[in-house]
Amino acid sequence: MPETPDLKRIGRYDIDRILGEGAMGVVYEGNDGRLHRKVAIKTILKSALDSDSAKEYSMRFAREAQAVARLNHPNIVQVFDFAEEGDVAYIVMEMVRGRELKTFFDAKERFEVKEVVHIMGELCEALHFAHEANIIHRDIKPANVMIDSQGRVKLTDFGVARVTDPDRTVADKTQAGAIVGTPAYMSPEQIQGNPIDRRSDIFSAGVILYEFLAGAKPFIGTGAWGIAKKILGEEPPPPSTLNPLVSPLFDAVVAKALAKNADARYQTARELGYALKRAFDGLPQIEEVEKTVVLPRGFASAVPAGEGDATVLRTLASVPAQHTKATELEFWRSIKDGNDPADFDLYVQQFPSGIYAALAKRRSAKLRGVATEDSEGKARTQEQERNEIEEAARREAEARAALAAEKADMEAALAKREAEFLEREAALKKREAEGPKKSPLIPVLATVVAVVIGIGLWQALKPPDPMAERVAELTRLLEESKQREAELVQSRQREAELLKELEVARQREAEALKSGDVTKQRELAEQTKQREAAAQKQAELTRQREAEAKKQAEAAELRRAEIARLQAESGRRPDPAPRVEPPRKAPEPAKVEEPAKPADPVKLAAVAPTPTPTSSVTPDTSLVSMDTLLQRAIVLERDGKTAEAARLLRQVTREGKGEAAGQAAKRYGDMLQKGAPGVARDYGEALRYYEIARLNGVDVPVAKSR
């Protein structure tokens, strides 16, 4: 390794310290004095390389700077500057405080499935954005994926990226047949030196996904050639066979992402992200039987948009042929005033002979700054454009007239069917009205009615029977006991509902704490207290009803025995008295877990702690000082009772304030970061509790590892 140059300043950047060293250069932490921001400066020492290598690495630096400068995305590391100074070439990038995904994998750290879906979703969004800008990364691997201190994904190192703009010169592109990438994460087409596109990056992302889920790489061999043979000729075992916590639904996603044939893979990175979300929600993959149309944002359709997507997917098979023209007109209406050339290209792709195809091509060319073929004369171009507009207007009028005629025909057919239905309904009513006059059942029915009336009169006028009255009274009491049991069940259900509402209130309070809105925090804190009081009151009511139901069950047994004795004395076979089941053990109310992580499962957020689930809410501890509870938790933790200590620390964090709440949050954050018996290690949750500690005035060093 070349000797590290002792740099104090390079360009306009002051050097603070060394972040890392590699075989070809050094990465420094620096300061941009002009813009007053921290930056990362990646350098190479050209004198340590031969002339060809120095030239190659300089070209890589230039390529990375030019490629990433086009990409402004929250999940892609930004490049600010590129230059050469003397013997050093350097590139200035956004300073990311975090860890490479590779360090997590090397340490054999496992991620929850929810975290995997979140991280892979952000990686897929970064890839999709780069691909849409005609940039293929070509070296997607864990070492090039950063997880910053707030849990966000940052895609790095576009040094071997390939820019696929059709208007770029051959000198800007990698030579055909060149093999670039890291063997364990390369696609089959990369290994074979064949042309590649965005689907090669999707294969590499699939390898990372497999490593997330299974805890091991899918293709392992001796040396680069051994790995290459595995990638080209073998299928890895499904992740669910290596990790029982993984659903088989994820196996299908991995298999498609790692398909040997690029045509069988996901065609965009965003599709891979959506497939992961569906698998996490327990939904199977969508089979594309028919060609899929991608409609732009704002397209009015009966088909709902996907989660947060700018597009709506809809198959042509689901659209009746006669409505294709209406779909085209609605599509054009939704994009005609837009400024995205991709929308107009999509219109031409979906409707190559459409009404506005010529105009869409012209608009796309203008937005891209490409001169049209007939741009030699401005007047001629304007005249042609007017003619195209007039022709499109004429064709649109014809299409709308045809649609109106079709609509009228459909309405006429519908009216005809409605009239036929009303006619049949009237005929049916007429037959029903005529039926009773000729029915021979009337005398029979009259006789039955008379007999029923006679029996009723006899029952009403016969002398009272004391034994029967006692049996009726006991039966009524048994019914009341049964009613008490039903009220107990309802009370338990209401208690569970209140606990769920309490959980939601705590989640909202945590989100408000994260946003820093003090007014909203106070309002939600008051709502949380009200719901806690309601939940405790309902729990007390449930306990009362459980006691009452137990007494009623004991009395019910005596009443059933008395009913049986009275019926035996009267010489009748005892009737089965309604049985009141003894009160069942109170089911545990719905678990009130730690507040669910927001859409960003590892992003920084405050946590609202929750009580340990029991048959009722946690007993009132308002009379116990928070300092006392904190000291009790410290003693429990020292004695090895970490689960009980964690519960008290969460309670002090939620109900306390100031120093006590801050110390409790910090201690529980330490538990989550390191892991303890009864407390699962969770890096994202630890960050949340550390933030609560800071908000309560307790200093917490920035966490550098999980």
The residues annotated with a catalytic role in the active site are: 139
Give 579's contacts (C-beta < 8 A, 6+ positions apart): 556, 560
Q: Could you give the CA distance from residue 86 to residue 109 in angstroms, rounded to a whole number? A: 43
Tokens 């031969």, located at residue: 50
Tokens 């809410």, located at residue: 617
Degrees (nearest 5) of the Cα angle 663, 664, 668? 115
DSSP 8-class letter at 163: E
Degrees (nearest 5) of the Cα angle 650, 656, 658? 115
Spatial CA neighbour of 131 closest among 101, 172, 173, 161: 161
Q: Could you give the CA distance from residue 646 to residue 643 in angstroms, rounded to a whole number? A: 5
CA distances from 238 to 24, 118, 213, 241 (A): 38, 21, 10, 6
Give 438's contacts (C-beta < 8 A, 6+ positions apart): none
Degrees (nearest 5) of the Cα angle 143, 145, 146? 105
Helices 324-335 and 378-438, interaxial angle, to 10°? 130
Spatial CA neighbour of 328 closest among 304, 302, 356: 356
Q: Could you give the CA distance from residue 296 to residue 275 in angstroms, rounded to a whole number? A: 20
> Are 196 and 189 contacting, i.e. CB atoms less than 8 angstroms apart?
yes
How, if at all, do strands 153-155 and 292-295 pair?
unpaired
> Are 690 and 661 contacting, i.e. CB atoms less than 8 angstroms apart?
no
Look at residue 80 and give its three-state secondary structure: strand
- Provide the b/e sequence for 200-218 (b: ≥16 CB within 10 Å): bbbbbbbbbbbbbbbbebb
Spatial CA neighbour of 142 closest among 179, 177, 173, 116: 116
Q: Could you give the CA distance from residue 24 to residue 159 in angstroms, rounded to a whole number? A: 13
Q: Could you give the CA distance from residue 84 to residue 617 in angstroms, rounded to a whole number? A: 66
**Structure token pair of residue 183:** 């063997």
Give 351's contacts (C-beta < 8 A, 6+ positions apart): 328, 331, 357
Which amino acid does the sequence have at 388? E
Spatial CA neighbour of 111 closest among 464, 593, 597: 597
Give 374's contacts (C-beta < 8 A, 6+ positions apart): 380, 381, 384
Q: Could you give the CA distance from residue 481 to residue 580 in angstroms, rounded to a whole number? A: 7
- Provide the b/e sequence for 514-547 (b: ≥16 CB within 10 Å): beeeeeebeebbebbeebbebbbebbeebeebbe
